[in-house]
Structure 1
């Protein structure tokens, strides 16, 4: 192992001038893209140009944007820390991503694309009424603000650790730049800056992996060290939902989370609808998966390298850093700080991941607030003003929400712990009920408004009980914690640490294995029964919230005069068994449509015409807006059902 790394020598590599220059260029490039699109589209007044890129985007930048958006700075900073602490089982999330990509491309996106909505919550008003639309969109806005706070905080934390610049300064600068270029150019700017930022992410991660592997004597050596210390594990098939990370927990449990993100999340719906055809939208989703796989693989490999370097001396126990989330920034200073410019590339990589997620959240919230709140209120009084000044109003919303998410990030900076799990848990608590509401409407034709409201509210209450209860009670894990060591901290010990301090840290870590385990076992025997409930893995939160919402919604609907499937507008439904099992004979698939009549020539609302063949599926949609608000859609659809 390279003996020059700072954890052993106490020498701290510094952030040089070249690093600052390379880091700043990323911000400058993002701002330039914003100014360019603001100037180019200065004469356009159609609100679709700001929120949907004029529906003329190309699949390549959209696919890169999707990958960059949902793999945020939390992933880049949190995954190496997760693998250092708990091992490689988290890597099974790539299976969940694959399931989600297929489900989103062929189940959810076709519905949103044909409905031609700007806000995905317009679906709820068409299906259940305005009340459901409003309560779901309120929860989405709260969810997005909190999550963006985490995403803004994560790269700022990294920058503070690497450069010593105040966390407040990092937060202000990042929020200001991101809000600026999003306000200037809207969706077009967001998509093209995301494409640039994805490229920077890949370059930065490769630099960290290559140079870091050299520090530990090669990636194979890091793998050997991690394997000998229990960090390399892929075959935990425990069916117990209390197992934090198992094959089923991560691969299947996380698939619900990713299905929510790629299937019904507003940021994804806007990207899918920014493409000129449904087929291109599906292509963009599938092209996004290799990007997801690449990023997750790189950060997981970096996590193995980080453990290979720091396994003799846990930096948190040695008080070199305050929390596990700072492991990767410390590692970057140790491995890349010796090479001018590489630390700057890494910080640009982390900030790129954060900026892409924040800008997507800002455009999503702007569209939701305008479409779900401002337009309905102004429809009867000042519809002309909304049409004329819609872009200006949307930009003002971006500025306001940017300021609010800065405040949320400041509050989050007071928390400690693994930001990946904490942010994932908080997001999943709210994602499950929203996802369940869409599933109740799209797959279960009997669901009515009363059932939808009951299922949604009770699911939110249930998930708050589970999520907040587990965070407050913090029941001890049934699986022993993987050990960490401090014996290596004696080598060339930093002068700022005393021998007594290190001895006490080392003693506490060495005694973890026996007395702690026995006391934990005794505590488990006497603990409250609810602790087993609170131990359910956070990876199941989205799926559990979805199941609770759907179950209650359907049950309550049958108790309160359920909707007749024959009266349902088939545009709002997905013939799920036709999508999943198209090879089944018609006599089997027909009853599995639950009475919904697909292919009617007169939908209930009278503005959608469908003609069915038994041959292939071709969709040609022509839409134009008139009278400032009405939409005439003529669509010829031939589908083999």
Structure 2
């Protein structure tokens, strides 16, 4: 294979631009339509996202499931999983096994409460259940998690565009950032919802095209798998219980469940899809549809990585110097394999952008709405709909530009998948833990929730910084470079330097029966505590969640017991602290002349962040009882 880099042709550029234009025109269409109905400024997008009754009536399980799927999939999935499979093998497929337990937990643990409360803002729950301060902790954790997520997505898209065009990375960040900001700011949430189906078709077709093309190039599916097997990339399972092993079946399943819950459970981007279903059962069906689509898509991404390795089995573009970042692998593969079919590379690369347009736009919108709800609206409560609209759109524009600036700052990141999942565990795990305390622990109070979440944040950040200062070493499958060189050129195979941002990389020249390692672990002396930092990044979410729960329950137990929470705010099936408290009775028997004459049942309900108490009498009291108690 020649050591050359191919780029888009004119036809590819036209097809790629057409796909982006469809999304942009969709945004403009809804903006103009709202203006013509004289609702563009009268009805703010904030009102639309929170109280759009027309959307509530039109949500079906299929549409809701597609929305969940598109919101979950992004450039991280489209670029990260194939690159991970290419570098380390098919073991990452195990994360697709998490979709079933995730759907079960969401449908039975979180969704029923959110659906019945019909909250417009997911963090209203924390204020109802605990206090304003707990809400602020949850808001800030989710805010920075989303901000980092959106920033890395933009960076991944810029890497993809830079790999297939002559545009520099900085130029790609600038152009993509402006397009996405305009799409979100002008089109609003309607544009985000209505392009879901178009993007689903394009994303799935993109991966299927890569898998089919790779199979044809290899000589069939069997040969494709054999090529991966010869490269030590077909280990389907690893039951190693060592927590310092980067990827195992256990870490992918356990860590994947907590990461999925952080993204799809108590999350502002998901709550609208849950609460707008006509019935709770339809909302649960939507979760099942969305999660099963996510699992199938992750498996397709793994197969795309196998096809990519088979194509480059003798000439790795990273170690040969053709590429600098693993995020550039998939778009480079698309152009390299389909360069003989004008327009097809442009169509397939546009699928990568479709995988991110909806989720990233919804994320930016969520940042704007969170800022408006939790900071601005509290100070200026009488703000008019006109000003609310302008302010929310301005915030969307600001956060789009902020993510663009952040993408410039992280331009040295190579492993976008590990970066996103690490920070999702550090920030998302404690937020998930606070909601879990609220749902499943009637004994928990605001002090416990705050102490637990802050401890979880601190632990996750400590582990991340420790792993950054003392990066762990892993044994990885080899990458080959012999096919990159012509017969008339002699290039030394002894040094091939590449680091994917997370661990050292090993390369092998098949003409020499020798393996070379870029960094030798034995030459680096780490202090004993460095072994703690070697914990797999996939466990960050579960560890921070568990620490939040344990510390939260302990602090709540040693501080003053809170009033009995509203039953609507608790999961009716499980209370992890039911043995730690004596609850107020749910009913009181009233006696008259030594005989029970009536039963009063005690109920509590939530309304507008206030707990209201009501009493219901089972039957009329006798007059003698009233006279006796005058």
Q: TM-score range by the shorter chain?
A: 0.7 to 0.9
Q: Deviations over 1:302-343 (max 9, x none)?
A: 111111121222221111111222221221111111111110
Q: Deviations over 1:276-311 (max 9, x none)?
A: 443332222111123212321211111111111212
Q: Deviations over 1:150-195 (max 9, x none)?
A: 1011122111111122323322332222222322343222111233
SS in 2 for 1:66: helix
8 Å CA contact 1:318–1:502 kept in 2: the answer is no
User: Which one has the largest radius of gyration?
Assistant: 2
CA distance in 1, matches of 2:112, 2:421: 27
SS in 1 for 2:571: coil
CA distance in 1, matches of 2:405, 2:573: 42
Corresponding position of 1:499: 490
8 Å CA contact 1:264–1:438 kept in 2: the answer is yes
Pair 1:302-2:304 in alignment: yes
Corresponding position of 1:434: 431
CA distance in 1, matches of 2:69, 2:88: 25
1:25-424 → structure 2 map (5 Å cutoff): 25-42=18-35, 43-44=38-39, 45=43, 47-51=46-50, 53-54=52-53, 55-56=55-56, 57-59=58-60, 60-379=62-381, 383=382, 385-387=383-385, 389-413=387-411, 415-424=412-421
- The 3 A distance-change label for structure 1 pair 610 and 182 is farther
Q: CA deviation at 1:11?
A: 5.1
Q: CA deviation at 1:502?
A: 4.6
For structure 2, the 5+ residue unaligned runs are 498-505, 587-600, 617-630
CA distance in 2, matches of 1:106, 1:188: 29
Q: TM-score, normalised by structure 1?
A: 0.84
SS in 1 for 2:604: coil
For structure 1, the 5+ residue unaligned runs are 1-7, 581-588, 612-641
CA distance in 1, matches of 2:376, 2:105: 32
8 Å CA contact 1:95–1:251 kept in 2: the answer is yes
- The 3 A distance-change label for structure 1 pair 402 and 517 is closer
Q: Deviations over 1:531-585 (max 9, x none)?
A: 2211111111111100001111110111111324xx211121112449x9xxxxx
Q: Deviations over 1:354-391 (max 9, x none)?
A: 21221110121122112111121123xxx2x2445333
CA distance in 2, matches of 1:71, 1:597: 47
Corresponding position of 1:458: 455
8 Å CA contact 2:339–2:345 kept in 1: the answer is yes
| Range with greater deviation from structure 2 (174-183 or 457-466) | 174-183
8 Å CA contact 1:445–1:596 kept in 2: the answer is no
Q: TM-score, normalised by structure 2?
A: 0.85
- The 3 A distance-change label for structure 1 pair 159 and 514 is closer
Q: CA deviation at 1:116?
A: 2.3
Q: Deviations over 1:591-629 (max 9, x none)?
A: 799959899533374558899xxxxxxxxxxxxxxxxxx
- The 3 A distance-change label for structure 1 pair 512 and 115 is farther
8 Å CA contact 2:334–2:349 kept in 1: the answer is no
Q: Deviations over 1:88-140 (max 9, x none)?
A: 11111111122212222232122122222222111111111111111221222
Q: Deviations over 1:197-253 (max 9, x none)?
A: 222111222222212222222222121111122101122111222222111111122
- Cα RMSD of the aligned pairs, angstroms, is 3.0
CA distance in 1, matches of 2:584, 2:397: 44
- The 3 A distance-change label for structure 1 pair 444 and 17 is same
Corresponding position of 2:626: none
8 Å CA contact 1:53–1:186 kept in 2: the answer is no
1:563-578 → structure 2 map (5 Å cutoff): 563-564=562-563, 567-577=564-574
Q: CA deviation at 1:461?
A: 0.7
8 Å CA contact 2:364–2:400 kept in 1: the answer is yes
Aligned residues: 581
Which has the larger share of helix? 1
8 Å CA contact 2:64–2:286 kept in 1: the answer is yes
Corresponding position of 1:520: 521
8 Å CA contact 2:459–2:544 kept in 1: the answer is yes
8 Å CA contact 1:216–1:309 kept in 2: the answer is yes
- The 3 A distance-change label for structure 1 pair 305 and 540 is same
8 Å CA contact 1:267–1:364 kept in 2: the answer is yes
8 Å CA contact 2:507–2:516 kept in 1: the answer is no
8 Å CA contact 2:437–2:444 kept in 1: the answer is yes
Corresponding position of 1:626: none
Corresponding position of 2:529: 530
Corresponding position of 1:447: 444
Corresponding position of 1:615: none
- The 3 A distance-change label for structure 1 pair 37 and 597 is farther
8 Å CA contact 1:448–1:563 kept in 2: the answer is yes
CA distance in 1, matches of 2:184, 2:495: 50
Corresponding position of 2:8: 15
